[in-house]
Homo-oligomer: A and B are copies of this chain.
Amino acid sequence: MLFKRRVTPEQLDQLLHPMIDPKLKKTLKALTKGLNASPGAACGQVVFSADEAEKWAKSGKKVLLVRKETSPDDIGGMVVSQGILTSTGGMTSHAAVVARGMGTPCVAGCKDLGISGKVIKVKGLEIKEGDYLTIDGSTGEVFNGKVDLVKPKFDERLTKFLSWADEIRLGAVRKGLPKGFLVRTNADQPNDAKIAREFGAEGIGLCRTEHMFFDAGKLEIFQEMIVAEDVATRKAVLKKLLKLQQKDFEGIFAAMNGLPVTIRLLDPPLHEFVPKTPEDTKAIAKTIGITVDKLQAKIDSLHELNPMLGHRGCRLGVTYPEIYDIQVEAIMRAACEQTKKGVKVLPEIMIPLVGTYQELKMLRENAEAVIKSVFETMKMKVEHKIGTMIEIPRAAITADEVAKYADFFSFGTNDLTQMTYGYSRDDIGSFLPDYISQGILERDPFQAIDQNGVGVLVKMAAEKARAMKPDIKLGICGEHGGEASSIEFCYRTGLNYVSCSPYRVPLARLSAAHAVLKNK
């Protein structure tokens, strides 16, 4: 055996981010240096506010967000920036914590920068809005101007190295479990699925279907459904989405030929799909053919005080069963069509946000009725599974009962962490930096799974589920699925696979091998 845990996942992580062309780097002199707050290099035009970042990015520009410090209000601008550069704050400042969470390069606490209005003064230079800067978040260096970056590439040596890791990982033997510890990916589009497959993903652990309602041409139909006043109208409108969604699913099945694909039914609340501004409301009322007042009244009625804890996930499946029905029909029609074309399709339908076995029982029955009817129409059958996400504490606590109606569980540890801690991920920025700097939390529980709290629920659920149904398939699709210590936790807890974003798949393969060796 050649694999000996000499290369750490952190080292591999650096290799997998964009970096400054190493040949070029020798000739460059850094302008200044801050803290290496989030790895990877980034280059972009300087903007000084999150709003500007969003505006510029919308018009296709690559921006670098420069701030004294960031706050939760800046999230929108941080998401669209190539990188983030701050003049104050440490490794646990808001900018640093959030950037690491998003995988965005960040140099924090770069004290030499004198930021005033829309100008940075640094070492006698003046850098204005729109000028280029380049940062290296792995070293903390800041370079003046535009610097060529090289994208991470997967060369033969890396492929070879990871194949050694895979030998360990796929050979893992745990009592009562099938051999191996698999790595899947979270991918919503065929293109992401292909990239992940090239990186070694052994299936899709989470395919979100939200975008299939948001895409242009689909959103208008879905909005028409939302304002429809009775079930018959809703069904008729949704029917228009069937073919469009079927095509989406066919693309994903084709890309993952031979590998399992877990598809999560609609999760976000309906108010995410309605217009947000008076102008949009007016335009959409016209398109749908109703009055602005009526549309506005509907929009107002959907408003929620705590959307994270509101009318979403399987709660929509219960109150609007026609939405899940059309999704299940599109999935299974796509599965049949692709099977006919010779593609090996392994669909796994995942019902989100279950908190009681009664929800899953009802929605499973609904789905099975739809599937039966598709198979009759298509005159064929396709093997498939129906399961659920475990992301509500109550589902974990009652996992034995829930398992009766599930072929698989996928731990949605993002939401499970939100509810177990009572933390809104969107709002945590106002206190998380204090919590970390004062030692209340060792680290952001959304990055590495909290083994003493959230992990206890995961373990409880896994044990209860396996006691009820020994061969139930267990995985994780929260972002923890791509983090080394969480991957080891999943291995020890008896999960069959982890699933993470495409670019983290290589790291997950390595981390998984480490986990196997460490727990031999």
- A interface residue numbers (CB < 8 A to B): 71-73, 300-301, 303-311, 315, 318-319, 353, 355-356, 358-359, 362, 391-394, 397-398, 415, 418-424, 426-427, 430-431, 434-435, 438-441, 450, 452-454, 456-457
**A355-B306 in contact (CB<8A):** no
Chain B min CB distance to A397 (Å):
5
**A309-B424 in contact (CB<8A):** yes
**B310-A454 in contact (CB<8A):** no
Neighbour of A421 across the interface among B392, B450, B452, CB < 8 A: B392
A456 contacts which chain B residues (CB < 8 A)?
397-398
A415 contacts which chain B residues (CB < 8 A)?
422
A419 contacts which chain B residues (CB < 8 A)?
309, 393, 419-420, 422
The residue among A300, A301, A419 with the most chain B CB atoms within 10 A of its own CB is A419
**A420-B435 in contact (CB<8A):** no
Copies, count: 2
Chain B min CB distance to A234 (Å):
15
**B427-A301 in contact (CB<8A):** no
**A426-B306 in contact (CB<8A):** yes
Chain B min CB distance to A181 (Å):
26
**B398-A440 in contact (CB<8A):** no
A391 contacts which chain B residues (CB < 8 A)?
422
Neighbour of A434 across the interface among B318, B394, B397, B452, CB < 8 A: B318
A398 contacts which chain B residues (CB < 8 A)?
452-453, 456
Neighbour of A426 across the interface among B305, B393, B438, CB < 8 A: B305
A72 contacts which chain B residues (CB < 8 A)?
301
Instruction: Please measure, in the bound complex, the distance between the C-alpha atom of A431 and the C-alpha atom of B270, giving whole angstroms.
Output: 13
A450 contacts which chain B residues (CB < 8 A)?
394
**A394-B453 in contact (CB<8A):** yes
A311 contacts which chain B residues (CB < 8 A)?
427, 430-431
Instruction: Please measure, in the bound complex, the distance between the C-alpha atom of A53 and the C-alpha atom of B431, giving whole angstroms.
Output: 38
With A318-B438, A393-B393 already in contact, the answer to whether A305 and B427 are too (CB < 8 A) is yes
Chain B min CB distance to A342 (Å):
41
Instruction: Please measure, in the bound complex, the distance between the C-alpha atom of A398 and the C-alpha atom of B454, giving whole angstroms.
Output: 10
Instruction: Please measure, in the bound complex, the distance between the C-alpha atom of A307 and the C-alpha atom of B427, giving whole angstroms.
Output: 8
Neighbour of A358 across the interface among B305, B358, B431, B440, CB < 8 A: B440
6 A–B contacts from the bound complex (CB under 8 Å): A304-B430, A310-B430, A319-B430, A394-B453, A398-B452, A419-B422
**A397-B453 in contact (CB<8A):** yes
